[in-house]
């Protein structure tokens, strides 16, 4: 049995990481629309837990981005994460 999200993961690996893609990946984990998440909103307040954050770390490391869980958890907002991710490309 194939895992449903495997195609999304493969697609993410073949794309450049963009702010829009980061927002989309976070929204998928929260089961929300990307437009419903403010870039400066604390994602833990929206329900993003450490396990989901680690899944993002692994996904982004898989496409060559140097990021750690500790960097993400320090300030869990899309705006901060994008600043980290875009500077580590």
Look at residue 28 and tell me whether its pLDDT is greater than 70: yes
Residues 6+ apart with CB under 8 A from 41: 77, 78
- Which is more confident, 41 or 4? 41
Per-residue confidence at 16, pLDDT binned at 50, 70, 90? Answer: confident
Contact 39, 80 (CB under 8 A): no
Contact 20, 14 (CB under 8 A): no
> Of 74, 78, 26, which Cα lies nearest the Cα of 47?
26
Give the CA distances from residue 20 to residues 3, 4, 15, 39, 65, in Å, rounded to whole numbers and listed in that order: 24, 21, 11, 11, 16
Domains, the chain, in order of start with CATH, read: 36-89 (1.10.1200.10)
């Amino acid at each position: 049995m194939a895992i449903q999200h495997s195609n999304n993961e493969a697609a993410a690996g073949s794309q450049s990481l963009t702010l829009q893609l980061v927002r989309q990946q976070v929204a998928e984990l929260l089961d929300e629309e990307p437009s419903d998440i403010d870039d400066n909103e604390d994602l833990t307040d929206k329900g993003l837990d450490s396990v989901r954050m680690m899944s993002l770390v692994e996904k982004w490391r898989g496409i060559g981005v140097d990021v750690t869980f500790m960097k993400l958890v320090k300030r869990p907002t899309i705006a901060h994460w994008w600043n980290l991710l875009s500077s580590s490309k």
